């Protein structure tokens, strides 16, 4: 059901700091319905640690997950700014422009930018 997918939050990232993130595509097995979500946390030393947490959660809800790439997020909640940059060695670079569009749905009053910079 569409409600199931709607129950999954678009974005789950740390409230502050610089950390790794991944862009994940959710899909119903055999279904047309799909959407992309953003997950990031300082707790993850490597990008695959984030995926290894998200994947079983989503499988329980009946979704297949595919990591579309990763990078880093710099989240400054005081100034309401988010910067998306960098890449994942294992998964490659996420399309940061897509990530920004997803972040904008949640952080509506933020200035959100992206670049291909490594730092």
- pLDDT at residue 1, rounded to an integer: 46
- pLDDT at residue 32, rounded to an integer: 84
Q: Is 104 annotated for ligand binding?
A: no
- pLDDT at residue 88, rounded to an integer: 96
Output b/e per residue, 51-69; b: 16+ Cβ within 10 A.
beebbeebeeeebebebbb
- How many angstroms from the chain centroid is the CA of residue 66? 12
Give the residue extent of every domain in the chain: 11-115
- Dist. CA 40–CA 21, nearest whole Å: 4
Q: For Cα atoms 26, 28, 33, give the angle at the middle one, nearest 5 degrees.
A: 80
Output b/e per residue, 9-34; b: 16+ Cβ within 10 A.
eebbbbeeebbbbbbbebbbeeeeee
- pLDDT at residue 65, rounded to an integer: 96
- Dist. CA 59–CA 64, nearest whole Å: 6
Active centre residues (catalytic):
47
Q: What is the mean pLDDT of each run of 10 residues along the chain (119 residues)?
A: 74 98 95 92 97 96 95 98 97 98 98 94
- Dist. CA 16–CA 109, nearest whole Å: 16
- pLDDT at residue 3, rounded to an integer: 62
Class of domain 11-115: alpha beta
């Amino acid at each position: 059901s569409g409600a199931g997918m709607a129950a999954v939050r678009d974005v789950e990232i740390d409230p502050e700091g610089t950390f790794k993130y991944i862009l994940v595509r959710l899909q119903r097995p055999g279904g047309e319905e799909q959407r992309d979500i953003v997950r990031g946390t300082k707790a993850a030393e490597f990008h695959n640690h984030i995926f290894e947490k998200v994947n079983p959660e989503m499988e329980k809800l009946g979704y297949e997950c595919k990591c579309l790439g990763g990078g880093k997020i710099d989240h400054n909640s005081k100034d309401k700014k988010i910067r998306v940059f960098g890449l994942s060695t294992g998964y490659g670079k996420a399309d940061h422009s897509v990530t920004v569009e997803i972040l904008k749905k949640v952080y509506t009053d933020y200035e959100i930018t992206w670049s291909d910079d490594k730092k």
